[in-house]
């Protein structure tokens, strides 16, 4: 295992948090998720000398310290301590969408109401799994990421209480100083105004760890700066391998192409998008940048294009943003997993179509070398929307290093090219181990 600070990534998804920490010189000892597509995507892209790869496992099955110790013995032999534990437990139960779904079910069917309430409660309690891993691994730091709405959820005080009273398996108190706040991704080089809740925990009883300070912020990256060098494509484009039409312009485009070597330097992967009917294409072409479904000119265009347009049935009050065309001169709004259902909230700023998988990944700050091999377009959109933007994660990893003298001395910042040029590892990885981790 290379020298340097080490982390464990719980609920890792496709690997946005991991990639950010890898860029700042950390090594990943263990990554876990219960989504087979996310694990496959993670291991296609990140499994190498700096990152040991992700395992498929449902962490809700681990309900005590002994179970976690046994899990670590199987999936991360020899790992009983790490420098940082990071993770974002699934957030649907905390989100505004989750609350709205329950309210709708209350009005329609009491049995469904009880089902969804129970399911959301179970998902909200996944922070308990995260807390128990901290109690077993006793890291110097932890980073807990989620949706901003978590701070207004009924369970939020319980979450704070839980992380303020951590106990090791032998009953020792772990004293962490907690810093909780909301942050916006566009402040950290991500071309997206994505707001996230982040809680940082710092061990009070160890040397070298100073006070946590938010990472330094920078100038926002616009949609044009993020996407302007990608080749134009028509709606329904399905060709997964293309060529760039020219050279990158600006720092962000250069950085997104890092890691490409040899013949790959000219290739764009996964620049694929949904098929649209002719009415939608005509409507997209008439929408100005920044316009949305509720705008009077958009409503007028819908009726002029087709008096029986399928969009007429949608309420302007309830679906104000059902269609939204990106502005080239500003960061995008929040990329979410709803992209798996449709991409109408992400209409390209000068092409009459919705965004491609590669464009969504660029807006999340995943580099072009991060590919979705063997994964469907719909699943690729979901994995991208659920991820933590890597450059935002890198900023917080850097913040931990800046506050921790010991870790900073060990870390060596990497580029995307450093990460993708590392050879893959083969030890501690087998189909049998994967099967043992999958819940029935």
pLDDT for position 63: 87
pLDDT for position 52: 84
Task: Write out pLDDT tens, residues 141-191.
Answer: 999 999 999 998 888 999 999 999 999 999 999 999 999 999 999 999 999
pLDDT for position 92: 53
Which of 91, 124, 273, 343 is catalytic? The answer is 91
pLDDT for position 398: 96
Minimal CA–CA distance to 84: which of 30, 147, 159, 15?
30
pLDDT for position 425: 56
pLDDT for position 126: 87
pLDDT for position 364: 98
Task: Write out pLDDT tens, residues 112-128.
Answer: 545 434 444 444 578 99
pLDDT for position 435: 37
Annotation: CATH topology of 6-216+388-435: Rossmann fold (3.40.50)
The low-confidence residues of the chain, meaning pLDDT below 70, are 1-2, 91-124, 262, 423-440
Residue extents of the structural domains in the chain: 6-216+388-435, 223-386
Active site residue 91: yes
Give the phi and the psi of residue 86 in degrees, each rounded to 5.
-125, 160
Task: Write out pLDDT tens, residues 84-108.
Answer: 999 988 855 554 444 444 454 455 5
User: What is the end-to-end Cα distance of the chain in Å, rounded?
Assistant: 33
pLDDT for position 110: 55
Could you check whether 6-216+388-435 and 223-386 share the same CATH topology? no
pLDDT for position 2: 60
Show contacts of 290-296: CB within 8 Å, 24+ apart: 290/325, 290/326, 290/327, 290/330, 291/323, 291/324, 291/325, 292/320, 292/321, 292/322, 292/323, 292/324, 292/325, 293/319, 293/320, 293/321, 293/322, 293/323, 293/324, 293/344, 294/319, 294/320, 294/321
pLDDT for position 168: 95
Total-model pTM: 0.89
For 223-386, CATH number out of 3.90.120.10, 1.20.1090.10, 3.20.20.140, 3.30.1360.120 equals 3.90.120.10
**Residue-by-residue DSSP string for 360-420:** HHHHTT--TT---TT--HHHHHHHHHHSPPHHHHHHHHHHHHHHBHHHHHH-----HHHHH
Strand-pairing partners, residue 347, are 325, 354
User: 395-405 in b/e burial notation, b at 16+ Cβ within 10 A?
Assistant: bbbbbbbebbe
């Amino acid at each position: 295992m290379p020298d340097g600070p080490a982390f464990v990534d719980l609920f890792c998804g496709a690997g946005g948090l991991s990639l950010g920490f890898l860029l700042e010189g950390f090594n990943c000892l263990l990554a876990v998720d219960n989504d087979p597509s996310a694990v496959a995507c993670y291991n296609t892209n990140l499994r190498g000398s700096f990152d040991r790869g992700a395992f498929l496992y449902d962490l809700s099955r681990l309900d005590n310290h002994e179970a976690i110790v046994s899990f670590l013995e199987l999936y991360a032999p020899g790992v009983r301590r790490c420098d940082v534990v990071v993770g974002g437990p699934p957030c649907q139960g905390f989100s505004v969408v989750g609350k709205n779904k329950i309210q709708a079910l209350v009005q329609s069917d009491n049995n469904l109401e009880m089902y969804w309430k129970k399911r959301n409660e179970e998902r909200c309690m996944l922070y308990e799994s995260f807390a128990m891993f901290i109690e077993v691994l006793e890291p110097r730091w932890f980073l807990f990421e989620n949706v901003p709405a978590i701070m207004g959820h009924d369970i939020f005080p319980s979450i704070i209480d839980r992380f303020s009273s951590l106990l090791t398996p032998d009953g020792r108190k772990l004293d962490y100083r907690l810093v909780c706040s909301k942050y916006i991704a566009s402040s950290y080089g991500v071309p997206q105004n994505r707001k996230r809740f982040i809680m940082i925990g710092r061990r009070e009883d160890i040397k070298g760890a100073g006070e946590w300070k938010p990472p330094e912020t920078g100038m926002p990256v616009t949609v044009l700066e993020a996407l302007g060098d990608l080749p134009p494509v028509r709606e329904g484009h399905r060709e997964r391998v293309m060529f760039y039409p020219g050279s990158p312009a600006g720092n962000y485009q250069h950085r997104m192409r890092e890691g490409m070597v040899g013949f790959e330097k000219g290739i764009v992967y996964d620049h694929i998008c949904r098929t649209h009917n002719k009415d939608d294409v005509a409507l997209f072409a008439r929408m100005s940048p920044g316009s949305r479904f509720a705008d009077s000119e958009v409503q007028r265009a819908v009726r002029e294009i087709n008096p029986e347009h399928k969009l007429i049935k949608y309420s302007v009050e309830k679906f104000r943003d059902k269609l939204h065309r990106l502005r080239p001169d500003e960061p995008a709004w929040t990329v979410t997993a709803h992209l798996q259902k449709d991409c109408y909230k992400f209409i390209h700023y000068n092409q009459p179509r919705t965004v491609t998988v590669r464009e969504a990944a660029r807006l999340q700050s995943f580099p072009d070398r991060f590919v979705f091999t063997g994964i469907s377009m719909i699943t690729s959109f979901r994995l991208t929307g659920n991820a933590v933007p890597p450059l935002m994660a890198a900023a917080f990893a850097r913040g931990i290093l800046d506050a921790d003298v010991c870790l900073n001395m060990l870390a060596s910042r990497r580029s995307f090219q450093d990460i993708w040029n590392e050879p893959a590892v083969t030890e501690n990885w087998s189909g049998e181990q994967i099967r043992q981790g999958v819940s029935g």
